[in-house]
């Protein structure tokens, strides 16, 4: 710890400038050494690693403020925290968890201030070039997403919040952890809508994070400012028809979770008052891009469970969406068959249970899954793609 502590002290007191060549070399060397320790979970007594790492986490995080403009150092720092959280979060005590949480929060704030708001992402021209560019240019974003995923694990939150009793407790509120995760997600969201979803690894990791947050904290998603909420929703709508089944299922579950949260609490009332067609757009894209497409078969259940609450929110508006899409089926006789199929699927008693929150039981889900599969097979039997 000695040379590293001396470096941090010299930087903080401005005895040496951050751009000094010797200081930069020492910083990179220290970060690499701590990175090696963070990956040493297979050693005989791995509990010694948290004892070694914990006193230095805040100093490591502080380096970001001095070298935030150097993307190489940024990525290395993020990788240290990502690897340490991944390898050791299950064995940390509360003091060590809190040290990791606070240092990570500061690290992410410094990183996002310099590398998220002004970052420009270009769409990759081909799949091969996407893979190469992803590895070379966006490793820092991937590390940031993975760090947020690890901070959101139940084990980490449980340990951080244990024995919390307000101001006198030694822990923290779970909301403090989720606030940091949502802060990080908000910083990354604008990037993910500018082209990063075209990169395979980043796409999967992003939806791992979003899927977890949508499933666990849907009420916080609903509280996002509209622009950020819209960006998140657009990424989910993009993911619904993704060729990767994990991405598509996470996206469909996310959309369904949002709508169910609104049915339960009215959480999206403020957004809907200003943008009344939000759910209409979701229904239309779900039908056009997923349910009426061959991709439906590997995501049948999550698609059905996303469609059901969308219909229950406002059956009249949902029927209008169906009428708008019906002409794609060709002759009027086929259009009528589609509408009849929807009427059989969306029974009033089923929708009323969804609205009241009483349609979450296993038997109800199984019944709707069977009914939805019959509906899809019926519709696909005479679907004409125009």
Hey, how many other C-beta atoms are within 10 angstroms of the C-beta on 13? 8
Q: Looking at residue 300, what is its pLDDT?
A: 95
Model pTM score: 0.83
For residue 272, what are its two tokens?
A: 């809907």
Phi, psi at 293, each rounded to 5°: -120, 160
- Adjacent-strand bridge partners of 167: 165
For residue 274, what are its two tokens?
A: 């200003």
Torsion over CA of 192, 195, 197 and 200, rounded to 10 degrees?
-130
CA distances from 348 to 69, 259, 313, 363 (A): 58, 18, 12, 18
DSSP code for 165: B
Spatial contact of 189 and 231, defined as CB atoms under 8 Å apart: yes
Domains annotated for the chain, with CATH where assigned, are 1-118+130-159 (1.25.40)
Residues 6+ away with beta carbon under 8 Å from 241: 248, 289, 290, 293, 295
- Adjacent-strand bridge partners of 165: 167
Q: What string of pLDDT tens digits covers the 386 residues of the chain?
A: 677 888 888 888 889 898 889 888 889 999 999 999 999 988 878 889 999 999 999 999 999 988 888 888 889 999 999 999 999 988 899 899 999 999 999 999 888 887 766 566 666 566 656 566 655 678 889 999 999 999 888 778 888 877 654 444 566 777 888 888 888 888 888 777 657 888 888 899 999 999 888 878 888 889 888 988 998 999 999 999 999 999 999 999 999 999 999 999 999 999 999 999 999 999 999 999 999 999 999 999 999 999 999 999 999 999 999 999 888 888 888 888 888 999 999 888 878 877 776 555 567 778 888 999 999 999 988 765 44
> Judging by beta carbons within 10 Å of its beta carbon (0-12, 13-18, 19+), is residue 258 exposed, middle or buried?
buried
The H-or-E segment that residue 247 falls in is helix 245-265
Q: Looking at residue 168, what is its pLDDT?
A: 45
Q: Looking at residue 385, what is its pLDDT?
A: 46
């Amino acid at each position: 710890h000695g040379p590293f502590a001396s470096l941090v002290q010299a930087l903080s007191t401005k005895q040496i400038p951050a751009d000094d060549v010797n200081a930069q070399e020492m910083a990179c060397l220290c970060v690499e050494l701590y990175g090696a320790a963070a990956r040493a979970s297979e050693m005989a007594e791995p509990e010694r690693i948290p004892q070694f790492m914990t006193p230095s986490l805040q100093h490591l995080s502080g380096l970001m403020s001095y070298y935030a403009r150097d993307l190489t150092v940024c990525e290395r720092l993020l990788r240290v925290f990502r690897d340490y959280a991944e390898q050791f979060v299950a064995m940390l005590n509360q003091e060590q968890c809190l040290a990791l949480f606070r240092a990570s929060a500061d690290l992410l704030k410094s990183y996002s201030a310099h590398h998220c708001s002004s970052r420009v992402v270009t769409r990759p021209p081909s799949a091969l070039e996407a893979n190469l560019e992803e590895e070379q240019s966006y490793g820092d974003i991937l590390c940031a997403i993975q760090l947020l995923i690890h901070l959101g694990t139940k084990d980490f939150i449980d340990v951080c919040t244990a024995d919390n009793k307000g101001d006198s407790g030694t822990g923290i509120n779970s909301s403090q952890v989720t606030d940091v995760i949502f802060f990080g997600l908000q910083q990354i969201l604008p990037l993910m809508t500018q082209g990063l979803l075209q990169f395979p690894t980043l796409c999967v990791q992003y939806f791992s994070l979003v899927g977890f947050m949508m499933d666990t904290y849907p009420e916080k998603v609903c509280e996002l400012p509209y622009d950020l909420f819209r960006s998140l929703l657009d990424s989910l709508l993009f993911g619904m028809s993704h060729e990767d089944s994990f991405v598509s299922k996470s996206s469909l579950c996310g959309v369904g979770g949002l709508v169910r949260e609104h049915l339960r609490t009215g959480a999206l009332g403020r957004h809907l008052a200003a943008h009344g067609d939000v759910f209409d757009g979701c229904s239309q894209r779900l039908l056009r891009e997923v349910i009426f497409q061959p991709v439906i078969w590997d995501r049948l259940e999550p698609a059905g469970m996303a469609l059901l609450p969308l219909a229950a929110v406002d059956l009249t508006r949902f029927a209008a969406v169906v009428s708008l899409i019906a002409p794609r089926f060709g002759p009027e006789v086929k259009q009528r068959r589609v509408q009849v199929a929807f009427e059989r699927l969306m029974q009033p008693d089923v929708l009323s249970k969804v609205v009241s929150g009483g349609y979450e039981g296993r038997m109800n889900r199984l019944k709707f899954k069977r009914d939805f599969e019959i509906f899809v097979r019926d519709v696909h039997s005479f679907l004409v793609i125009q």
